[in-house]
Structures are given as structure tokens and as C-alpha cells.
Amino acid sequence: MQFKGTKNYISTEDLSMAVNAAKSLERPLLVKGEPGTGKTMTCEAIINQVDCTVICVSNDTVENLREIKNIYALAEKLAPTLMIIEDIDTLGGLDRRDGASHPLLGELLASLNGLGPAGNVVTVATTNYPQYLDRALADRPGRFDIRIEFPIPDVDLRRDILKKYLSKFKTSRISIDKIAKGSEGLTGAYLREVVTTAYLITIENGDEEITSKVLEESLNQVKKMKEIALKEIGVTATPTSEMFS
């Protein structure tokens, strides 16, 4: 079951609907998308709305054997519980076709199999790289059948994101449409960096208002930074929208 938001973005309502579907079907939910598209931010918004126990798990908090098993046992005791696993690919991303073992993955699979009555514990996992998930997680009925994708923002959403971040600063002669069109492929996190960098440039110039010229300079800097970052991880010509499909 694949959920996609309207107008090329995911709202808290979209994710809430998917969580309710996961609860009714007793199925974990996978939230996927490129880094910086708002997966964690939206999960945080959901956490502030639900009236139940919330347990957040990440690779930093799970290092030893039996920890996942113990966490799910605690979730059962404190149920109803919303279990959020950040970057699940770091727990279950090892490809076992090379013969390697993955104890944490085994514990996670066993825990998902042993969940109690429907709606007792709902697992919501996020990942930047769904293609790295072990097949036992990604390609088996009953495990993450419900998925919600956070896409790269389109031009209309990029315009709204820029307006939101620019609203905190003094501006002058801003051409939002031009910047929005020129920022194709950038996520919300990168757009925030565009505005932050523009503000820093404005301060360095001794000015008080961000202008379109400064925003264009900032956009070029951020796009160059992104290009360098992608080259460092071996990505050169792949369109951003296709990298994480």
C-alpha cells in the first residue's frame, strides 16, 4: 500500500492517515525519501499529536544484542505505543546475500513477528535508502506493506518553503519565483541553507535586507556545495529525484 501526499508534499494528515491504516491492519509503516525532505520533522509533528506512549529508536541508541527485543517488550507493557525507528537501514540494511549475519536485524524481525493485538504497538520506520533494506524487511508480506514517500519538492512547494524561511528576515526586491525555479532538485533542508547563507552574506556586506542578488549568490553557493558533496560519495550525473528511488 503506497501513500503519496497531494501537491507533491506530505502533510501530517497524510502521515496520520497512513499510521491509522498501519494500526488497523497491524502492519509496520515505512517512511522513505531523500535526506532533508521532512521525514523526521513530520514524525515529530505526529508525536506531538498522538495520545499514547512514544518510543524513538536509532542506531545510536541500539548497539547491543537483546536491546531491540527489550525495547519492544517495554512497548507492549506501555501500550498503546507508537514505535519510531529512525534510519532503519542502519539496523536492517545489511545485504545478507554475501553470507554475513546481522544479529540486530534478526532481533528486529523477531520483534515485528511477535507483536500483540492489532493497534497494540505501531511501528513507523524512516529511511533515506529503501533500496538498502534487507529483503526480509522490504520484500515480505506483513512487513512494511504500508509505505509513504516524501518526494523532492516541486516549484510551488519550493516557493512556499522559501517564503516561510525568508519571513524571518528583512528583505528587499526579492524575486521568489526566479529563485524557486532555479532551485530544482533541492530539498527543504537545502532551501533553508540557501536563506541562511543569504543572511550571512547580507551581514558580511554590511546590509540589513536580503536582496534577490544575494539570494542568487547564495543559491549558487549551495548548489555548488551539493555538487561537491555528491561527488565525494561517488554521485556525478544522476538527477536528484532519481537517486533515492
pLDDT score recorded for residue 149: 87
Q: What is the pTM of this model?
A: 0.72
C-alpha–C-alpha distance, residues 93 and 132, integer Å: 5
Q: Which residue matches cell numbers 542568487?
A: 216
pLDDT score recorded for residue 213: 95
Handedness of CA 63, 46, 20, 29 (dihedral sign): negative
pLDDT score recorded for residue 113: 73
CA distances from 140 to 14, 143, 171, 225, 227 (A): 24, 6, 52, 39, 36
* pLDDT tens for each residue of the chain, 245 residues long: 444 444 455 555 666 665 665 555 567 888 999 888 888 888 888 888 888 899 998 877 777 778 888 898 899 899 888 889 988 887 755 545 554 556 677 788 878 776 655 558 888 989 988 887 877 777 777 778 788 888 899 999 999 999 999 999 999 989 999 999 999 999 999 999 999 999 999 999 999 999 999 999 999 999 999 999 888 877 654 444 444 33
C-alpha–C-alpha distance, residues 129 and 94, integer Å: 12
3-state SS, residue 147: strand
Q: Are 58 and 87 in contact (CB under 8 A)?
A: yes
pLDDT score recorded for residue 115: 61
